[in-house]
Amino acid sequence: MKKPTATPSRSKGPKTGGAELLLEIGVEELPYQFIAPALAALRDHAVSLFEEARLSAGSIRTYGTPRRLVLIIEGLATHQTAVTKEAMGPSKSVAFDAVGKPTKAAIGFAAGQGVPVESLQVRQTPKGEYLCAAKQDAGRPTRSVLLDLLPGLIGKLSFPKAMKWNETGVRFARPVRWLTVLFGGKPLPIDAAGIKGGSRTFGHRVMGRGKPFTVRDYQSYRRGLERQGVLVEPDSRRAVIEEQLERLCAKARVRLNADESLLQQAVFTTEWPHVVMGNFKVEYLAVPPEILMTSMKEHQGFFSVRNRTTGQLAPHFLTVANNQPRDVSMIRAGNERVLAARLADAKFFFDEDRKIRLEERVKKLSGVTFHQKLGTMAQKQERIRKVARFIAAQLRQPADVIRASERAASLCKADLLTGIVGEFPELQGIMGGEYARHDGEPEAVALAIREQYLPRALEGDLPRTMVGQILTMADRFDSIAAFFHVGMMPSGSEDPFALRRHATAIVRIVLEGNLRIDLSPVIEYARTAVREEGFRADQDAEKQGKRRFTDFLFERVRHYGRTVHGLRDDVMEAVLRIDATSAIDLVDLLSRMKALQAVTVRSEFDPLIVGFKRASRIVGKEQWDRKPVDTALFTDAAETELHRQVGSCRKEFDQQMAKGRYDHALDALVRLKPAIDDFFSGVMVNAEDATLRNNRLSLLKDVEEFFLSFADFSRIVVQGS
């Protein structure tokens, strides 16, 4: 039998003592999406169960194909680790009489623990002296432990969909057909899902001719499977597929459209991969490439390719067969026939869609439900139009950008009614832009409609055009406002409407696009647009209103700052502790965070914050309102100096803040440290004279407000605070 052209990788675990365990769960073909998660779960459960069973092990690996899930453990101890188990009994005073003889309580405790009464020990506890029975558990041989443990391990595996197929009632993704179980080279007759474990396995369904063969260990297992058409290690299959894709593309002088999800699909739908290149009619290239690529991927799992010179889609495709065919032409011809029918359907939809302008389709959006609690898609699109216009105005965009933003928003959801998007929902927006261009809409409008769903993933590409950025933000602001209005907010890990992704997209567009915009009025405008529709509001959500929306957005700002810029949580919290009336300029807030984090490394910063927190606590305890400081009441030079430094540093601070030079502004703040230290060293704030005490509290209030004008420094975590 001819082997694949790439050399399969070999996974070699560390050489350790102990024995090798091989477990293979042989099944009917699994859906490819189930395999990788099942292998990860199999390994995690194995690690946990073996630790609980006191069985030490070397490497623990999992491999899998559509017909088998495999666990390999090298260096598995042949015996459980011995342990001493202790059980606490009655108190010493109850366990022994006045002359030190064991009472019935001690004798009964010893009998219950299965130990001689004379072996009981006395232990000192927080409650006093108590009896303790120490028992040595030597453990069992691993082989006997595995007979109990492995069926439970198999039973722990769960799948998105499971089925029953025999009288045992066991649920699994597909029927289990055989179990190969070897420990130390010897079969282990476990019983799971009505199947007895043994030393036989099966190769490729076709290439192995359905004949079982016997294995001794993992190496003989792997070699035997290769002889019968199975590369059990996913990395080996991936290497084969990648090498064949590269070779065929080089031969045809085309470039592969790399797609990790397609490659993963190919790896887990095959046991013996063989890549075949096919062709389709050049006339189909008149259809937008996104349609062709999506049709090839979603319907057939085919890779598409591009011309190396022009970068345009080429009339070829690559498919991965699960076989070593004698006649490749038959596989090629069969796939070409199926693809031709799919592409003909796609071309028909595309041609038919262009007969109706997007503007005409808009009227029918009133018959498309956005959400049962939030009306129709026509209502949503109209809200998006209003919010887009408002955002464009807030960004002080010229009239042509505002007009383009409104126009794009008024057409953005119309492609949901087209045949292509009905067939391929993932093309929404892309097809809207294509049809807008065909209808003669301005290029800015067509591009914005095309970009409206970007980024499609948390780290995906962002809209490149200003109109696209405005439209995308308007859509996402509306979605968050709408679902919050009816009380459908994310909870824990549950986020069915991807609202966290929407908020993250807003944060990324603003920060990475350096958009100077106050989002506070945008949030309120979006909420008002939803309220005006008359949808029934969730009363609890409405009570918290704008604050809840703002906090939700700031949660994503924190995530972005943490993951992208490495900002400390307390630093971000200090800057984001703003009141409801403050502007929400994310670019400005991020600049403050960066400047604040940079100053936290200075040696004088932590002592400065300790001083600020002391001042803040004193003022807070007294619930002191701001009152003018009377310099005539100063009795100590430290008071005079602190007041002078606050005035001097505040003047420079305000100048630097106005210029956005936050690092220099913080320098002015840091210069207060000596004056604050001297004040607390030489001045008694809580003076007996009420007039002096009040004046000193006002001075500390000035210090507190100075700090708080930049951030809430009480949130900063420092040693000694």
CATH of the domain at 547: 1.10.3210
Out of 174, 203, 227, a domain closes at 227
Beta-bridge partner residues of 212 = 202
Cis peptide before 187 (omega within 30 of 0): no
- The DSSP call for residue 629 is -
Same-domain pairing of 320 and 442: no
In a domain, 9, yes or no: no
Q: Which residues of 522-561 are buried (b: 16+ CB within 10 A; e: fewer)?
A: bbbbbbebbeeeebebbeebeeebeeebbebbbbbbbbbb
Same-domain pairing of 435 and 464: yes
In a domain, 669, yes or no: yes
User: HSE of 155 in the Cβ direction (CA atoms, 13 Å)?
Assistant: 15
Contact (CB, 8 A) for 665 and 653 = yes
pTM flag (> 0.85): no
How far is 272 from 266, CA to CA, in rounded Å?
Answer: 10
Range of the domain at 532: 369-565
- The DSSP call for residue 193 is T
Same-domain pairing of 210 and 299: no
Contact (CB, 8 A) for 377 and 407 = no
How high is the pLDDT of residue 720? 47
Out of 227, 250, 276, a domain closes at 227
Same-domain pairing of 422 and 554: yes
Which tokens go with 243?
Answer: 């090498």
Same-domain pairing of 71 and 90: no
Helix (H) or strand (E) holding 473: helix 466-485
Same-domain pairing of 103 and 154: no
Same-domain pairing of 374 and 477: yes
How far is 524 from 506, CA to CA, in rounded Å?
Answer: 15
Same-domain pairing of 521 and 388: yes
**Alpha helices for 535-604 (secondary structure H):** 539-565, 569-576, 586-599
Out of 195, 227, 259, a domain closes at 227
In a domain, 696, yes or no: yes
The residue behind tokens 């001083």 is 611
Cα-flanking dihedrals φ and ψ of residue 114, to 5°? 70, 35
- The DSSP call for residue 303 is E
Which tokens go with 171?
Answer: 């649920």
Helix (H) or strand (E) holding 682: helix 673-682
CATH of the domain at 74: 3.30.70
Task: Tell me whether strands 128-137 and 68-76 are parallel, antiparallel or unpaired.
Answer: unpaired
Residues 6+ apart with CB under 8 A from 395: 466, 470, 515, 516, 517
In a domain, 572, yes or no: no
In a domain, 395, yes or no: yes
What's the helix, strand, coil split of the chain in %, to 5?
A: 55, 15, 30
Same-domain pairing of 377 and 496: yes
Helix 499-512, helix 539-565: angle, nearest 10: 50
Contact (CB, 8 A) for 195 and 150 = no
How high is the pLDDT of residue 15? 43
Our count of domains for the chain comes to 5
The total of other beta-carbon atoms located within 10 Å of residue 34's CB is 20
Contact (CB, 8 A) for 203 and 67 = no
Same-domain pairing of 108 and 156: no
Residues 6+ apart with CB under 8 A from 437: 443, 446
Residue ranges, the chain, pLDDT below 70: 1-17, 580, 626, 719-721
In Å, how far from its chain's centre is CA 273? Answer: 31
In a domain, 4, yes or no: no
Q: Which residues of 12-33 are buried (b: 16+ CB within 10 A; e: fewer)?
A: ebeeeebbbbbbbbbbeebebe
How far is 484 from 537, CA to CA, in rounded Å?
Answer: 9
How far is 571 from 565, CA to CA, in rounded Å?
Answer: 12
In a domain, 580, yes or no: no
In a domain, 2, yes or no: no
Instruction: Please tell me whether residue 702 adopts helix, strand or coil conformation.
Output: helix
CA distances from 428 to 233, 285, 294, 415, 509 (A): 38, 20, 12, 6, 20
Cα-flanking dihedrals φ and ψ of residue 186, to 5°? -115, 140
Helix (H) or strand (E) holding 313: strand 313-322
Which tokens go with 524?
Answer: 């309120």
Q: DSSP for 315-352? A: EEEEEEEES--S-HHHHHHHHHHHHHHHHHHHHHHHHH
Same-domain pairing of 376 and 458: yes
How far is 611 from 714, CA to CA, in rounded Å?
Answer: 11
Same-domain pairing of 517 and 643: no
CA distances from 147 to 144, 221, 601, 663 (A): 5, 21, 58, 66
The residue behind tokens 């305890």 is 621
Torsion of CA 157, 158, 162, 164, to 10 degrees: 40
